[in-house]
Each structure stands twice: as C-alpha cells, then as structure tokens.
C-alpha cells in the first residue's frame, strides 16, 4: 500500500491531521511578556492586556494556517488511498469473473 496507514495508529479515533505535537516556537519578532510583578499603573495593565491579545491572535492565526495545511494533506492522502482501493477492487472483480468463467466451463 502506498499510503502510510498511520491515521489511526497513534490515537485510535483521531485523524492523522489532528495528532497534536508540542510546538514551543514563537513566530519571528514575538517578544515574551514581562512578568506580572513588574506591572504597576492601570495603563500598563491595559497595554499588557492588549499586547497579550495581539500575541494570542498572532499565534492562533499561525495555528489555523498550519491546521488547514495538515487537513488538506490528510484529505489528499485519503483521496489517493481511495484511488488505490478502487484499482484494487476492479482487479478483484475482474479476477472473480475469470474464476467464475473457469468454474462454469468445467461444469458444462
């Protein structure tokens, strides 16, 4: 089989594109937050909240892109597997017909 066949190997009921691998890398240019103990004024708190939100959106944006890429790959993989199985099915049907012919000619 040309397909990897690992879509159910690791997690049972989870599609391959859903298998979660830990990612700790941040997008370029992202700076981690200052520790909460260093914050003082309400303005600083608000700026920190805004910065955190922007960071979260940025990361989620990247995660969504990656998620869609994996999903497309997964679907592509399934489609090629379908193609392989269809060819295999045709061959088996053909073989069955041949065997039927042989059997019927013998009983005649």
Partner DNA sequence: ACGCCCCCGCGTCAGTCAAC
Partner DNA sequence: GTTGACTGACGCGGGGGCGT
Q: Does 35 bind DNA (CB under 7 A)?
A: no
In this structure, the number of other CB atoms found within 10 A of the CB of residue 6 comes to: 10
Please give the radius of gyration of the chain, using alpha carbons only, rounded to the nearest integer: 27
Instruction: Report in angstroms how near the CB of residue 19 gets to DNA at its nearest.
Output: 7
Q: Is 81 in the site for DNA (CB under 7 A)?
A: no
Q: Does 106 bind DNA (CB under 7 A)?
A: no
In angstroms, the CA 50 to CA 56 distance is 10
39, 48, 70, 81: which one binds DNA (CB under 7 A): 70
User: Considering beta carbons, is residue 19 or 81 the nearer one to DNA?
Assistant: 19
Q: With binding defined as CB under 7 A, does residue 24 bind DNA?
A: yes
Separation between Cα atoms, residue 39 and residue 51, nearest integer Å: 13
């Amino acid at each position: 089989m040309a397909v990897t066949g690992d879509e159910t190997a690791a997690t049972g009921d989870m599609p391959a594109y859903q298998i979660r691998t830990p990612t700790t890398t941040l997008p370029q240019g992202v700076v981690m937050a200052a520790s909460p103990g260093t914050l003082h004024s309400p303005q600083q708190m608000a700026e920190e909240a805004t910065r955190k939100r922007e960071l979260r959106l940025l990361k989620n944006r990247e995660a969504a892109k990656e998620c869609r890429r994996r999903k497309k790959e997964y679907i592509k993989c399934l489609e090629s597997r379908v193609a392989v199985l269809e060819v295999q099915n045709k061959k088996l049907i053909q073989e069955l017909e041949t065997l039927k012919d042989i059997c019927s000619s013998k009983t005649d």
